[in-house]
Amino acid sequence: MDLILIVIAVLVVLALAGGLWLYVGRRQGDLPEDLSAHKPTSIEDLFPQEGQEGQAAEEVGEREEPGAEPEARPAATTATLESPESIPGRMQRLRARLAGAGGFGKAVLSVLSRGDLTEADWEEIEDTLLTSDLGIEVTTQLMEELRTQAKVLDTSDPQAIRAVLRSELLALVDPDLDRSVNLERPAAAEGAEIAGTPAAAILMVGVNGTGKTTTCGKLARVLVAQDKSVVMGAADTFRAAAAEQLSTWGQRVGVEVVRSEREGADPASVAFDAVRTAAEQEADAVVVDTAGRLQNKAGLMDELGKIKRVMEKVAPVGEVLLVLDATTGQNGMRQAQVFAEAVGITGIVLTKLDGTAKGGIVVTVQKELGVPVKLVGLGEGADDLAPFDPEGFVDALLG
């Protein structure tokens, strides 16, 4: 009898152990699936095959509905990632777009090609230059050079004239400036209490509506396409929609967005969380979006200065990009000056260059602010951001 009881007890124990093993086994089997949904493990995961882009756009569209999940998290959890356009394809398309916008170079060239120029022709050239946002000083300098060269050369030779104008414009744009975006990962600040290695930090500043958030998303997309791991920080806490917009970009490009759920939260604290998260994740770069709608210069200085200082508790910020709307001309320049004073800028992103024929702003902005245009925005599309290429720009202006 005892023996029968012992056998029954052993069978019960074995049955229980088997059940437990099956349960644990199933949980462990789930794990890789969950993880792969959170973090793409290979470059192929990041770039779906052709034909999936439409699906991605639809899913992102769904996420933009009011009441959509507001929490920041790695985008791959909810959206199929879009496939970025190749860099050469992007450059070619953008050059064509810029040339199509019709820069001032084309207009000047057409007058110069008329041959023996009258005083009225020269005035026409001067007017064109002045209305192209080149500014008086640069226009005067360029006019003198063109008049001198026109005397020296046979002005009826369009090729010779084109060459002169090309070299003058190129000199103004200055091909020797370093236009690379600093992606070098800095050493941690002294006493920084962080896990991991700091990421290269890029701080995006500028007036509201210039395209900061869009540029953060486009830039993250370019970096991801270059196989870099990126974190974005939504330090534009002025309005919840800005953080939501950045989160949508995060979902599109497969990048985690650090944000606060509270509208009006301290932007410096969100920026700090972003750089700390990036260091913990050993990310290559962290891109931080800011608000630009402060009432006065002192407030702006305080806020941007604080954001940068707090980020630098982790590591130095290697790149502060000022986003400028090319269509705002001289007005935009005045605002740019204020930002440049508030926080030392290292480069300019000139957006909406597709919406203006006034290419002269490139020259003015560099001259006034003393930093190079590094990136240009040429449309609202996800791939409409390109490195600024002086030669390509001048050639596009001249048609």
Ligand X SMILES: Nc1nc2c(ncn2[C@@H]2O[C@H](COP(=O)(O)OP(=O)(O)OP(=O)(O)O)[C@@H](O)[C@H]2O)c(=O)[nH]1
Asked if residue 119 lies in contact with residue 147, where contact means CB atoms within 8 angstroms, the answer is no
In the complex, least distance from residue 323 CB atom to ligand X, rounded to whole angstroms: 6
Binding residues for GTP: 206-213, 289-293, 351-354
Nearest distance in Å: CB 236, ligand X = 5
**Residue whose CB is less far from ligand X, 109 or 342:** 342
**216/397 with CB nearer ligand X:** 216
Residues counted in the chain: 399
Q: In whole angstroms, how close is the CB of 50 to ligand X at the nearest point?
A: 25
Least Cβ distance, residue 214 to ligand X (angstroms): 3
Q: Compare residues 155 and 214 and give the one whose CB is closer to ligand X.
A: 214
CA distance 273 to 141: 49
Cα separation, 397 vs 101, in Å, equals: 9
Q: Which is nearer to ligand X, 198 or 267 (CB)?
A: 267
Annotated binding site: 206-213, 289-293, 351-354
Q: Is 290 exposed, middle or buried (0-12, 13-18, 19+ CB in 10 A)?
A: buried
Are the C-beta atoms of 40 and 254 separated by less than 8 Å?
Answer: yes
Neighbours of 55 (CB within 10 A): 13
Query: What minimum distance in Å lies between the beta carbon of 181 and ligand X?
Result: 17
What single-letter amino acid sits at 225? A
Half-sphere exposure of 264 (CA within 13 A, CB side): 0
Q: Which is nearer to ligand X, 211 or 318 (CB)?
A: 211
Calpha distance 60→253 (Å, rounded): 11
- Helix axis angle, 329-342 relative to 361-369, nearest 10°? 30
Closest CB 208 distance from ligand X, rounded Å: 3
- Chain-centroid distance, C-alpha 199: 16
Q: Which residues bind ligand X (CB under 6 A)?
A: 206, 208-214, 236, 242, 291-292, 351-352, 354-355, 377-380, 384
